[in-house]
Amino acid sequence: MAVGRPAIGLDLGGTKILAVVISPEGRLLGRAGHPTPHSGRSALLGAMAGAVREAAAAAGVNVWETAGIGIGAPGPTDPEAGVLLEPPNLPLDCHNLPLRDLLQPELAARIEVENDANVAALGEHRFGAGRGVADMVYITVSTGIGGGLLTGGRLLRGAGFTAGEIGHMAVAPDGHDICGCGRIGCWEAVCSGTAIARQAREAVLAGRAPGLLARVGGDPAKLTPAEVTGAAAQGDPAARAIVDRVVTYNGVGLMNLLHLLSPGMIVIGGGLTHAWDALVAPAIAWAQAHALRRPAAACRMVRAELGDLVGGMGAAALLSDGAPD
């Protein structure tokens, strides 16, 4: 970002909009949040502009004085045109929404638009665990699995702007795990929080997991990843089998990333990192043990640092991506 000027980051989520103002060093100067309206594009644009203005006011700056506004948006985006393409969980009239053209005149500031996983990768690279690491992979594991790739300190977007869709790398295509995308055996179809809960329900419904069923009072709908890892830690064999499978395929996914990109660091965030010791640490060990020696030795795999602010801070970092600073 331009030397000395704060930048605004806007994290557009399916349930909430968060705007932050940060200093060039990544210090939080102001923030404002709103629930995401679902009544159409004009309400959405109004809420986004309102959050930006409120965050700027909280930081004591004028929007036009900042380096600009970075927007991290769900689903695929066209970062060159500044367009939101197909955001999941937002009304249909928000598809193909030219955010830059619509917000730039109103807010009188430079606007950059990027997919939220790429934004999070950039945030960890600039301000979080990946500071100073030129070749970095970011992975977020929660209800799905997403990612972002930095090579030579820059986001790798790909020809279709979809590079880093690592959740849909196939890890078990001969299995029975159907992904939300319709394919079989995507990484997120085996290892996301949604997938862990699904495997637990399947085990219960097949009569293979009486311990798990008892744990949730006989209601399979209450099976969560935390219940599965908790039961596994206490020695429940069905839960242990699910955890072992998830760990192995997490390890396969990490190993594939090591072989493809030879990153200096893989930063892992998202809700499932709460189960770091059960699901992540043993997967890292698996990948380090099975991968080619050189990429394994060159890579550290660590926990993300920015937490809930990663989207906003990463969006603000869009104002400096690739720029000399």
What amino acid occupies position 194?
T
The answer to whether 92 contacts Zn ion (rule: CB under 5 A) is: no
The answer to whether 195 contacts Zn ion (rule: CB under 5 A) is: no
The answer to whether 215 contacts Zn ion (rule: CB under 5 A) is: no
- The nearer residue to Zn ion, 179 or 212, going by C-beta atoms, is 179
Residues 279-298 contacting Zn ion, CB under 5 A: none
Residues 149-178 contacting Zn ion, CB under 5 A: 168
We find the least distance from the C-beta atom of residue 81 to Zn ion, in angstroms, to be 26
Mention every residue, 6+ apart, whose C-beta is less than 8 A from residue 188: 144, 145, 167, 168, 179, 180, 194, 195
Mention every residue, 6+ apart, whose C-beta is less than 8 A from residue 176: 184
The answer to whether 181 contacts Zn ion (rule: CB under 5 A) is: yes
Binding Zn ion by CB under 5 A: which of 183, 208, 259, 294?
183
The answer to whether 99 contacts Zn ion (rule: CB under 5 A) is: no
Q: Which residues of 19-40 are buried (b: 16+ CB within 10 A; e: fewer)?
A: bbbbebebebbbbbbeebbeee
The answer to whether 179 contacts Zn ion (rule: CB under 5 A) is: yes
Q: Report the alpha-carbon distance of residue 83 to residue 177 in Å, rounded.
A: 33
The answer to whether 186 contacts Zn ion (rule: CB under 5 A) is: yes
CA torsion, ordered 153, 169, 284, 149, to nearest 10 deg = 10
We find the least distance from the C-beta atom of residue 184 to Zn ion, in angstroms, to be 9
The answer to whether 208 contacts Zn ion (rule: CB under 5 A) is: no
Q: Report the alpha-carbon distance of residue 145 to residue 137 in Å, rounded.
A: 13
- Please tell me the count of residues contacting Zn ion according to CB under 5 A: 5
We find the least distance from the C-beta atom of residue 155 to Zn ion, in angstroms, to be 22
Dig out the tokens for 92 from the structure: 């249909």
Q: Which residues bind Zn ion (CB under 5 A)?
A: 168, 179, 181, 183, 186
